[in-house]
Chain A
Amino acid sequence: MADEASIDPAEVTGEGVRRRDFINIAAVSFAGVGGLAVLYPLVSQMSASADVLAESSTEIDVSAIAPGQAIKAVFRKQPVFVRNLTPTEISEADKVDAASLRDPQTLDERTKEGKKNWLITMGVCTHLGCVPLGAGEGEVKGEFGGYFCPCHGSVYDTAARIRKGPAPKNLEVPPYEFTSDTVVKIG
């Protein structure tokens, strides 16, 4: 501890930097760090919990889907469109210059090799998340023959690429693989 001679004059007069200032700053900083540490779990608890995140996968038998037809399956509690494209739909998608699109991608990039007729996408509009129409029997497909989102009028083409309306991206292609000729495993 300090003896008489080493006492800082500032300590006596109360001016300038005092040792107490250091203690104040240290204490408040420490409390601040502690506060942040407490905040972390309070914020983090809001994120998806382990059971929601748990690897889920869905197996779908596609043998019954005729060309021109589509079904809706469920992956992570959200709809997935599994669509069997007709040759005209495929050529329509291929005709488009991908570079001219809002989210440039070709149909080949969006399907698996040798399975170009199987267009598998999330049924979640990339605008604000509605389920676009066009997969169900008799639903409108929109002016580009793919999907039409009724919420704010986004239009997707036969490769489920965004062509018109407010959505920024093509319908998302989920991770999937064909486990046999007729069975797809999504996730």
Chain B
Amino acid sequence: MSFPWANEYKPGHPLMQWLDEKLPLPRFVYNAVGAGYPVPRNLNYMWNFGVLAGFCLMLQIVTGVILAMHYAANAGVAFDSVEHIMRDVNWGWMLRYAHANGASAFFVVVYIHIFRGFFYSSYKAPREMIWLLGVVIFLLMMATAFMGYVLPWGQMSFWGAKVITGLFSAIPLIGDPLQQWLLGGFAPDNAALNRFFSLHFLLPFVIAGVIILHIWALHIPGSSNPTGIEVKQESDTVPFHPYYTAKDGFGLGIFLILYCAVLFFAPNMLGHPDNYIAANPLSTPAHIVPEWYFWPFYAILRAFTADFFFIPAKLMGVLAMFSAILVWFFLPWLDTSPVRSGHYRPLFRKFFWILLVDVIVLGYCGGSPAETKYVLISQIAATYYFLHFLVILPLVSSIEKPEPLPFSITEAVLGKDEGAVLNATPAAA
């Protein structure tokens, strides 16, 4: 779906006319990301991150498929095969660093994308489905990245696999058999490594599929925008191409500069030295932590150290960790304010920034050793995290007095909107 004033695709060359009749793929592209897709004229750089996330996925698939040509998923040789990639394969070091840091870049981009959604309440009607699919993509990404990190079969790989599959053992009754089923044994070994490789290869393509649904759902109402008010008229929009292809292209350039800076000058900055030690099932590294992008959730997991009523501490931690993401599914119905954008919601805006700080604090604690002070801070921060979504958001929505909204996107951008006068009279459409 699109706005009635969208440009229409007109194939020029006879070959393109022929193609348009048989398989209108160019028409599809034209209407999806070309001049035939009208987009609000006021999108800021926060709207670049969807395209960047798509780019990261392509990057991971290209580098990943190449790594898979040299990697061997067998517990006996996996670690050596990664070293072989690093030392012997032509450009192998670059491809592996590109893939490992590509995963980090992907999460940076997706976290910004998600927090953009929080600030501008992009999850609100009519865009709930886009948001729900986004949360599904995030869960799939976490699964993919976790299994990818196991593949090099270093110490962190091994103990990460053990601890994360151990989460499932917290489930009453079926927990232990479930963990053994997931691992195909009592501890991570060949069976686990092989299935993780198989799924790590598969899941990115599942993600690609869900992304198609995500964008399909997006193209029904069209993009939201920083004012949060809907498009009313042609002057509120510009065609995606060339306006946003150019803006996204510029954003991609900045992204690539930062990405390459890390890739070529600090490729191990975000990694963990223990993962350059081959997996040893008999000794746990003194300080095991997951990759940085899991830290906030890991902190929530560790925040539960005592039994909670009748629920054991271990199960409670696991439930809380998963709930921390699952609560996002309910966001469209927890935030009941009719105003979308944080720009016009003075109270909501403050709590948005507090939430951001809270998540950063959780992340910091999650990456620190399990010492009393960090656990204590995690407990406070985790409590606040759930308070934000379950209590503060609904409450703020009902007591807050939003600031006045502009009449239209055009007025927000130009300071005046001729259409506003016309639209004020009922006769005008």
- Chain B positions within 8 Å of A131 at CB level: 282-284
- Chain B positions within 8 Å of A32 at CB level: none
**B331 CB to nearest A CB, Å:** 29
Interface residues of A in 124-164 (CB under 8 A from B): 124, 127-131, 133, 149-153
In the assembled complex, B304 has its CB within 8 A of some CB on chain A: yes
Bound CA–CA A149/B302 (angstroms): 13
Contact indicator A151/B284 (Cβ below 8 Å): yes
Bound CA–CA A168/B165 (angstroms): 16
Residue of B nearest to A73 (CB): B282
In the assembled complex, A52 has its CB within 8 A of some CB on chain B: yes
Specify which of A48, A149, A168 is in contact with B314 (CB 8 Å cutoff).
A168
Interface residues of A in 95-113 (CB under 8 A from B): 102
Contact indicator B166/A128 (Cβ below 8 Å): yes
Given contacts A129-B163, A150-B370, A46 and B187 within 8 Å (CB-CB): no
Residue of A nearest to B189 (CB): A77
In the assembled complex, A47 has its CB within 8 A of some CB on chain B: yes
Q: Which stretch of B176-184, B257-265, B333-341 is in the interface?
A: B176-184
- Chain A positions within 8 Å of B186 at CB level: 48, 52, 76-78
In the assembled complex, A72 has its CB within 8 A of some CB on chain B: yes
Bound CA–CA A133/B307 (angstroms): 24
Contact indicator B185/A150 (Cβ below 8 Å): no
Given contacts A52-B189, A150-B284, A129 and B305 within 8 Å (CB-CB): no
**B352 CB to nearest A CB, Å:** 31
Could you give, for residues 38-68 of chain A, a 1 whenever the CB lies within 8 Å of some chain B CB and a 0 otherwise?
A: 0000000011110010000000000000000
Contact indicator B187/A77 (Cβ below 8 Å): yes
- Listed by A's residue number, 10 A-B pairs whose Cβ atoms lie within 8 Å are A48-B180, A124-B187, A129-B169, A130-B159, A130-B288, A152-B302, A152-B305, A166-B305, A166-B313, A166-B317
Task: List the interface of chain B (C-beta within 8 A of A).
Answer: 159, 162-167, 169, 180-187, 189, 191, 195, 281-284, 286-288, 301-302, 304-305, 307, 312-315, 317, 369-371, 375
Q: List 6 other contacts, CB 8 Å, given A74-B281, A79-B282.
A: A48-B186, A52-B191, A127-B166, A133-B286, A152-B301, A168-B312
10 shortest interchain CB distances as A-B pairs: A128-B166, A153-B370, A130-B284, A129-B166, A128-B163, A131-B284, A129-B162, A52-B185, A166-B313, A168-B312
